[in-house]
Every structure is written in C-alpha cells, then in structure tokens.
Amino acid sequence: MKQITFYLVRHGRTEWNEQGLMQGSGDSPLTEQGVQGAIRTGKALSAIDFSAVYTSCLQRTIDTAKYIVGNRAVPIFQHKGLNEHAFGSWEGQVVETLRQTEEFQQMLTTPAHYKGISNGGETYEALAVRAMNAMLDIIKVHDKGNILIVSHGHTLRILLALFNGATWRNHREPGRSEALLNTSISIVKFEEKDCVGNFTVEQCNNIEHL
C-alpha cells in the first residue's frame, strides 16, 4: 500500500511575471518578491519531513525549491513532465496584447477548442498527459512520505483539476479549477491499495503564509 502526501507549490514571482510577459518554456529570474515568497513557503513547511523534492527543468522552479528547502538535506530532482505549458511563439510576448486574439481566449476558457495553431504551442491534452505521467513516475519511486513538487501555474492547475475528477477538456469551467498564485501551497494525498490509486485534494492555492 502506498501513502504519499504531495505539497504542490507554484514557483516564486519572476521578472517576466512583473513585466506581463508570457513565460511557458521560456524562463526569467525570480524577483526579490519571488525569493521572499519562497523563503516564507520554506518556513511554513519547515516542520514537514520531505523525502524528496521534484521540480520542472526550468530554473525558476529549481531556485524556488532551493529557497524552500534551505539547509535541509533533501534531494532535489528535475522532471521535464513538470515543465510549464509550452506556448510556442507567444513566449516573451506581452500578455495583454495576446489576450485580444481568439486563440488566446480559447486557451483561457475552452481547452477542448485550443489547438495551439497560431503559436505552435502545446495542447492541453498533451500537457495533461505529460504532467500526470510525471506524477505517476514519482509515485513509482516512492511508497510513502512527503514529497514537495515545485512547478508552474498551468501545469499545477490542470493536475489539481484532474485529481478532483475534472478532465483536460472541462478543467477551466467555473468551479473546477482556479488560477494558482506564486508560491501558493496545495496539498494532495495519494493512496494506492490493491493496485487502485486515488488522489484527494486537501488544500488548494493557500497563501496564508505569505
């Protein structure tokens, strides 16, 4: 029987967040606010005995994880399946300008219709498959304990929705998911018994520590 508690944290605020630029597979450094948010998250989770930390392969999550862990001897691993939704040619562009386009609105509201045609971006279906496979990969390695996951807004949002029974097609319908704030904490329990696994979301998007 497996019993794992996942602590899912969105990375700290970055320079591109401040500038209103699309990030995705692109990357930018944490701001001072992002660093302080990660440090506060570390303090909030200081009593949790983590077996391991998994981040995406993007530096903003790696840096966030290091600030959270601090001096604790916890191994930090990267998994590309935890990377952010890839937005293709939109990355580095001004969000408010992109917001005026039909395809951007489809991405925000109707995942089933968003195909990433104009930008060559990743579909929600592809994001959902790789993100869930990343979680299943991690579950294969661990039987019990506390695992810290540091990832990204779209990636964590779709994962939390899937854990709650939504699909990639409907996860952006009202009430099924919410936009995650930087260095927010979500807690998910995973139990597997007789080869049947079950995720339970116990806390979502908590920022009391900030």
Q: Which of 18, 32, 79, 84 is catalytic?
A: 84
**How confident is the model over 18-33, as a mean pLDDT?**
97
| Residue linked to tokens 């990636």 | 155
Q: Name the residue type at position 135.
A: M
6/134 Cα distance (integer angstroms)? 13
* Domain boundary assignment for the chain: 11-192
Query: What's the CATH class of domain 11-192?
Result: alpha beta
Is 72 one of the annotated binding-site residues?
A: no
Decide: pTM greater than 0.95.
yes
Is 168 one of the annotated binding-site residues?
A: no
Q: What is the pLDDT of residues 29-88, one digit of tens each?
A: 999 999 999 999 999 999 999 999 999 999 999 999 999 999 999 999 999 999 999 999
How many secondary structure helices (H) and strands (E) does the chain include? Answer: 7, 6
Is 206 one of the annotated binding-site residues?
A: no
Q: Which of 11, 85, 152, 171 is catalytic?
A: 11
pLDDT classification of 195: cutoffs 50, 70, 90: confident
Is there a catalytic annotation at residue 11? yes
Is 13 one of the annotated binding-site residues?
A: yes
Q: Which DSSP symbol is given to 206? A: E
Q: Which two tokens stand for residue 181?
A: 């704030």
Is 17 one of the annotated binding-site residues?
A: yes
61/133 Cα distance (integer angstroms)? 19
Is there a catalytic annotation at residue 154? no
Q: Who's near 129: CB < 8 A, 6+ residues apart?
A: none
Q: Which two tokens stand for residue 29?
A: 């450094």
Mean pLDDT of the chain: 97
Q: What is the pLDDT of residues 86-120, one digit of tens each?
A: 999 999 999 999 999 999 999 999 999 999 999 99
Q: Which two tokens stand for residue 176?
A: 């099924």
